[in-house]
Structure 1
Amino acid sequence: MTAVKLTILGKVQGVGYRRWFAQYAVALGLKGYVMNLDSGAVEALLLGDDGAVAELVNRAKVGPSDAAVTDVVIVELASEQQIFTDFQIRRE
């Protein structure tokens, strides 16, 4: 199991990024959340199979067609401390 927190920078709000991200997370069987930040970035926490997490991290670097991702900051977390039962789109 892998747990990571992502901060996705660029034009990522108002372009359907959270919904797009959540669809991939659910399809890959991941748990966690995605949410907008006041800074204009998007934050996501992913918990799941190493390969599935790696795949979504790579997809996050591109995003949906209307997004313009400039950077993805990745912080590895202790997976045993992260408890989620599903994947959620969080509202601020």
Structure 2
Amino acid sequence: MKRVRVIISGRVQGVGFRYFVQDNALRFGINGYVKNMPGGNVEIDAEGDEEPLERFLMACRQGPPQARVDDFVIQDVPVYGYTRFRIRHCNDI
């Protein structure tokens, strides 16, 4: 089990990016969340088995057709134990 936090910049808000990420999380069996951040970035907090997580991250690095990913910063963080994947909003705790 591995967990990462990813900050993505580019044209990633208003183009269906969070829904794309959520669909791929379900596809690869990844738990955690995705949310828009103030300033136009998107944050992904994801955990799962290492190989599916890597495939999930490769898909997210591409994004949906309307998106443009300029920067994709990955940070390893301690496993949290998420039980599902969801879209969060900026003010969610």
Q: Distance in 2 between matches of 1:8 and 1:44?
A: 8
Q: Identify the residue that residue 88 of structure 1 maps to in structure 2.
A: 86
Q: Deviations over 1:7-48 (max 9, x none)?
A: 011000000000010000011111000000002000001110
Gaps of 5+ in 1: none
Q: What is aligned with 2:23? A: 23
Deviates more, 1:55-64 or 1:1-10: 55-64
- The root-mean-square deviation of aligned C-alpha atoms, in Å, is 0.7
- Alignment-derived partner of residue 77 in structure 1: 77
Gaps of 5+ in 2: none
Provide the C-alpha distance between the structure 1 equivalents of 2:86 and 2:61, rounded to a whole number of angstroms: 20
Count of aligned residue pairs for this structure pair: 90
Q: d(CA) in 1 for partners of 2:28 and 2:38?
A: 28
**What aligned pairs does 1:45-56 form with structure 2 within 5 A after superposition?**
45-56=45-56
Deviation of 1:4 after TM superposition, in Å, equals: 0.2
TM-score by length of 2: 0.93
